Structure 1
Amino acid sequence: MTFSETTIDQETTSSEKTFLKLVMPRLELVSLIGKIQSTVPSKPAIPILSNILIQAEDGQITLNATDLTVSIKAFASADVKSPGSITLPARRFFQLIRELTTDQIELEETEFGVVFVRAGSSIFKLNAADKEEYPSLPDLSSASAFQVHSPTLKELFMRTSFAVAKEDSRHVLNGVLFQLTENHLTLIGTDGKRLAKINAEMANQPFNGQYIVPLKAIEEITKTLEEEQPAKLFFHEDKMAVEMGSVTIISKLLAGEYPDVSKVIPEKANMTVNLHREELITLLRQVSLFTSEMSHSVRFIFTEGNLELSATSSDVGEGKVSMPVDFTGEQFEIAFNPSFFIDILKHCKDETVTFGITDSFNPGMITDQTTALFVIMPMRLNTN
C-alpha cells in the first residue's frame, strides 16, 4: 500500500452513515498501538489531540495519532464487519487493550457516541469524541520522493541527531538539516557547541533541496525503522514523511535559514593526532568525575608521545590520566566538555579516530574512516 492510497478521508462515501465494527487479534492491536502511542501529547494544545483516530475499511484497521507537528499512522489487517471511523481517548484505550487477556478483541461503535470493547465475556464502554474535530493528515502523494535502505537511514540519523539542540531559541537548531543534491544526501546536526555531519550516496534521488526536520520526528522515525526494510522519504513544501511498511510518519518542517556551518568546520588542522577511541572514552569518564559544575571542562595536554587529561574541582579534588599518542612537537593545551567529546567518540565507527586541531581557541575536528565528521568547540582554559 502506498502513501497516497492510505491518505485519510474522514468523510463517509455513503449517504447513510455506517458504524464501525471489527474483530482482530488482541496482540496485533497491542503492537499497532505501540507504533503510534509516543506521538500522543501528554499536554495537548487542543483536547482532541489526546485522542486517536481509528478507521476501518476493506479488511484493514488504521490508527492515527498527532501532536500537530509529528503525526503517525499505522495499519494492520482486521475482520471489518462494518466500515467506519471513531475517535477514542488514547491512553485509556491503550491501557485497557494491554490489560486484557483474550486472544480476540471486538470494537463496535454505536449511534450514541459510545464504543463497545468486547473481550470474551467482558464488555467495556468508552465514550468517543467527535471525529470531525480530529486534524486531517496532509496528502503528500504529489511530493518528491526517494527510497533509502532502512539500516542506512537509521545510521545517518543516529550519527547526527545526538548533536541537535533540544530547546534552543534558534529553533532551526532543534532539527536535522537535510541537504539533497542529485543522488546525494548530507545530514547535519548542531547545538552550537558540537556538530555532526555525514554524507551518503543515494541512487534514484533526482531532486535538490534543503529541509530542516524536527528532532522529535527524527527520533520517532529512528525507533520505527526496521532492519532490511526499505524506507520511502517524501518532501513537499513545509512537510515531509517517511513510509516504512505499515507505518507512515509525517512531520512539519522547521521554517528558517540553517546557519552556514562551513564557517566552523576547520579547513586545515595545524596538528593531527590519532587516538584510540575506547581508551579515550574510558579516561574521559574517569577524569570527568573531577570537573566542576560550573565549567565541566577537561584539559587536554599534548606532549611528545603523550596525552594527559586533567580536571580540578575545589569541591571534589583533582584527577589526572594519560595515554600514549602519536604527537610530536611542543607542548599544546586545549580544553573541552568531556560529555560532548564522549558523545562524539561513541558515534564514531572505527577503533582509531583522527583529531585535528588548529589552536587552543578554535574548534577541533574528529573523523573516522567513514564519511562522517564531528566538530567540537573548545572551552576556556582555566589558568588555575
Structure 2
Amino acid sequence: MKFSINRDQFVQSVQHVSKAISPRTTIPVLTGIKIEASFDGVTLTGSDSDISIESFIPLEDEEIQNVELEQPGSIVLPARFFAEIVKKLPEDTIELSVSEQFVTTLKSGSSVFNLNGLDPNEYPRLPEIEEDNVFKLKTDLLKNIIRQTVFAVSTVETRPILTGVHWAIEEGTLACTATDSHRLAMRNAKAETNTNDLSFSNVVIPGKSLNELSKILDDNEEWVDIIVTENQILFKAKNLLFFSRLLDGNYPATNNMIPTNSKTNVKLETKKFMQAIERALLLSRDGKNNVVNLKTLSNTHLEITSVTPEVGKVTEDVATLDFNGEELRISFNGKNIIDALRVIDSTEVTIDFTGAMSPFVIKPTEHENMLHLFSPVRTY
C-alpha cells in the first residue's frame, strides 16, 4: 500500500475514529486504527466493543485532490502513537507506505517515522446492518437533541439501563428521554421517515456513545440517516459511519411520572433564575451540598436561599413574570436545575409545582418540544 494524503484531512479523520478506541481492550488489533486505501479513497476505522467509527476521505472532493493513490491496500497502526505523529508532522502532505511484515513508513517534509503495524485481516468487520428502520434528522437538530438530554443520564452503573437515552418513534415523532431517577429530561422532534408506519419503543443508546457522536458531527444542516436494529444503531453522515451498541433491558415507563395537574405555576426569566441559583450555590463547599430552598414571597417574587452551616447563608430575591396558585416552600438540587436551564432554548420558563414533596416540571414557554422533571429534596 502506498499513498499521499492531505495532512489536515487525515488528522481530522484520525481524531474522529480515535474516539472509538479504548486503551483497556484485551484484543490487541482493536488498539489500532485500520487504514484502507482503494481507488475511491482512504477509509479509517476505529472500534471497541461499544462503538465503531468509520471515516472516509475521497480521492477528490469538489475538485480538490485529497489523496494520490499509488498502490491500494490496508494496515492497522497503533492509535496511541499514530494519532500523535500525524498531528505533529511538519508539511501539508503525508506519504504513507507499507512494506513487508506490516512495517509502515510515514514521510512528511524532513520527518520519517517507521511504525510496526498489525495484520489488517485480523481486524473485525463492521456489522452489516439491514436498512429497514431508517429515519433522518438534520445534523444541528441531532446535536441539540443530544445536548438537551444526555446530561441527565445516570453516571452510576447500578442500573445500567439508566446510563443511556431512551429513543422512541411514533407517528413520525421522535421522543428522547434521559433520567437518573432524580431528574428527567425529555425532548421531542419531528423525524423524516420514508414510511408512515415506522415505530419503535425500546431503543436505549449509551450516553457515552451519544457524547462521542456529538463531538465529531459538524454544525450544519446536512441530513444524518439513522438505522435501528435489535442491538445496534447506525448514524450515517457525509463520509462518516458511527455504530453504537444498544443497552439491554427495559427502560422505565417515564410517561407515568409526569404530573398532569399542578397547585402552583410560576413563570420566570430563564437567565435570571439560573444566575440566582448559581449564586445561591457559591457557598456550597466542594459541591457536596447542592440544596437550594425556594419560597413564594408574594404573587410577584420568590426567595431563593442556600445555607452551608460552617460557611454562611445566601438569599436571592427573584421577580416572577407570572404567578398562579398556592403559596409554596420547596427544596431541590440546585445543580440539577442549572444543568436543565442551560439547555432550555427559551428566554422564559414555566415551573409547575404539585406540592412541597412532589416532583415538579420546568418547561420552555416558547415551544412544547421539551420538559424537565425534578424530585424535591427532603431537608428535615
| Alignment correspondent of 1:195 | 184
2:313 is aligned with 1:324: no
Instruction: Map 1:156-305 onto structure 2 (within 5 A).
Output: 156-204=145-193, 206=195, 207-210=198-201, 211-226=203-218, 227-291=220-284, 295-304=289-298, 305=300
Q: Deviations over 1:224-249 (max 9, x none)?
A: 22212111101111001101101110
How far apart in 1 are the matches of 2:194 and 2:310?
55
Choose from 355, 372, 376 the match for 1:378: 376
Question: Residues 205 and 381 from structure 1, CA distance in 2 versus in 1: closer, same or farther, beyond 3 angstroms?
Answer: farther
2:39 is aligned with 1:40: no
Question: Residues 58 and 183 from structure 1, CA distance in 2 versus in 1: closer, same or farther, beyond 3 angstroms?
Answer: same
| Alignment correspondent of 2:35 | 54
What amino acid is the match of 1:208? S
How far apart in 2 are the matches of 1:139 and 1:236?
11
CA contact (8 A) 1:86 1:128 kept: yes
How far apart in 1 are the matches of 2:3 and 2:135?
35
How far apart in 2 are the matches of 1:205 and 1:259?
29
Shift of 1:316: 0.8
What amino acid is the match of 1:372? M
Question: Residues 374 and 329 from structure 1, CA distance in 2 versus in 1: closer, same or farther, beyond 3 angstroms?
Answer: closer
What amino acid is the match of 2:267? N
Shift of 1:149: 1.3
Shift of 1:288: 0.9
How far apart in 2 are the matches of 1:238 and 1:176?
14
CA contact (8 A) 2:350 2:362 kept: yes
How far apart in 1 are the matches of 2:160 and 2:290?
25
How far apart in 1 are the matches of 2:162 and 2:96?
43
CA contact (8 A) 1:24 1:104 kept: yes
Instruction: Map 1:326-345 onto structure 2 (within 5 A).
Output: 326-327=322-323, 331-345=327-341
CA contact (8 A) 2:265 2:324 kept: no
More displaced stretch, 33-42 vs 297-306: 33-42
How far apart in 2 are the matches of 1:209 and 1:260?
14
How far apart in 2 are the matches of 1:145 and 1:61?
26
| Alignment correspondent of 1:74 | 55
Q: Deviations over 1:288-341 (max 9, x none)?
A: 123366542011011212210111112211111111223356541000111001
| Alignment correspondent of 1:4 | none
Question: Residues 294 and 202 from structure 1, CA distance in 2 versus in 1: closer, same or farther, beyond 3 angstroms?
Answer: closer
How far apart in 1 are the matches of 2:38 and 2:130?
20
CA contact (8 A) 2:8 2:92 kept: yes
Q: Is there any run of 5+ residues in structure 1 with no aligned partner, and where?
A: 1-19
Question: Residues 276 and 81 from structure 1, CA distance in 2 versus in 1: closer, same or farther, beyond 3 angstroms?
Answer: same
Question: Residues 215 and 328 from structure 1, CA distance in 2 versus in 1: closer, same or farther, beyond 3 angstroms?
Answer: closer
| Alignment correspondent of 1:110 | 99
More displaced stretch, 260-269 vs 136-145: 136-145
Question: Residues 209 and 329 from structure 1, CA distance in 2 versus in 1: closer, same or farther, beyond 3 angstroms?
Answer: closer
More displaced stretch, 34-43 vs 314-323: 34-43
| Alignment correspondent of 1:7 | none
What amino acid is the match of 1:222? S
Q: CA RMSD in A?
A: 1.7
What amino acid is the match of 2:268? L
How far apart in 2 are the matches of 1:141 and 1:73?
17
| Alignment correspondent of 2:62 | none
Question: Residues 324 and 82 from structure 1, CA distance in 2 versus in 1: closer, same or farther, beyond 3 angstroms?
Answer: same
More displaced stretch, 252-261 vs 289-298: 289-298
More displaced stretch, 35-44 vs 191-200: 35-44
Question: Residues 220 and 319 from structure 1, CA distance in 2 versus in 1: closer, same or farther, beyond 3 angstroms?
Answer: same
How far apart in 1 are the matches of 2:29 and 2:139?
33
Aligned residues: 363
3-state SS of 1:39 partner? coil
What amino acid is the match of 1:264? M
Q: What TM-score, normalized by structure 1, do the two folds share?
A: 0.90
Question: Residues 330 and 35 from structure 1, CA distance in 2 versus in 1: closer, same or farther, beyond 3 angstroms?
Answer: closer
2:75 is aligned with 1:86: yes
Shift of 1:119: 1.9
2:343 is aligned with 1:347: yes
CA contact (8 A) 1:177 1:258 kept: yes
Q: What TM-score, normalized by structure 2, do the two folds share?
A: 0.91
Shift of 1:167: 3.3
How far apart in 1 are the matches of 2:326 and 2:167?
41
Shift of 1:135: 2.2
Q: Deviations over 1:19-62 (max 9, x none)?
A: x1111122221122122222221322433221111111114101
CA contact (8 A) 1:70 1:216 kept: no
How far apart in 2 are the matches of 1:219 and 1:205?
27
How far apart in 1 are the matches of 2:182 and 2:29?
38
Question: Residues 348 and 68 from structure 1, CA distance in 2 versus in 1: closer, same or farther, beyond 3 angstroms?
Answer: same
More displaced stretch, 58-67 vs 292-301: 292-301
| Alignment correspondent of 2:108 | 119
